[in-house]
Amino acid sequence: MKHIQVNSEKVTAKSERLSDLLIELGYADAVVATAVNGDFVTQGNRANIQINDGDRIEVLAPMQGG
């Protein structure tokens, strides 16, 4: 288990990769932007990003409206 922060909330996660973490957190089919420790991660690169203890993850959904 890894102790990380997701959108400034402390979370304990079992996922090893960012792509798996998004599924674990319920973002499986969501269109979101992601960053790990302040670095933007493209959708195509999420499976390559390993999650480590203490990481800070940001998950941002696009906003609509006007």
Write the pLDDT tens digit of every residue in 5-18.
999 999 999 999 99
Q: Where are the domains of the chain?
A: 2-60
The pLDDT value recorded for residue 9 is 97
Rounded distance, CA 50 to CA 54, Å? 12
User: What pLDDT does residue 66 have?
Assistant: 62
What is the CATH code of the structural domain delimited by 2-60?
A: 3.10.20.30
pLDDT in tens, 15-35: 999 999 999 999 998 999 999
Supply the pTM of this predicted model.
Answer: 0.91
> Rounded CA gap, 59 and 40, in Å?
10
> Using CA atoms, how far apart are residues 29 and 26, in angstroms rounded to an integer?
8
Residue 51 sits at φ, ψ, to 5 deg, of -95, 130
Exposed, middle or buried: residue 39 (CB in 10 Å: 0-12, 13-18, 19+)?
A: exposed
Cα(33)–Cα(47) distance, integer angstroms: 14
pLDDT for the residue numbered 63: 75
Confidence of residue 61 (pLDDT cuts 50, 70, 90): confident
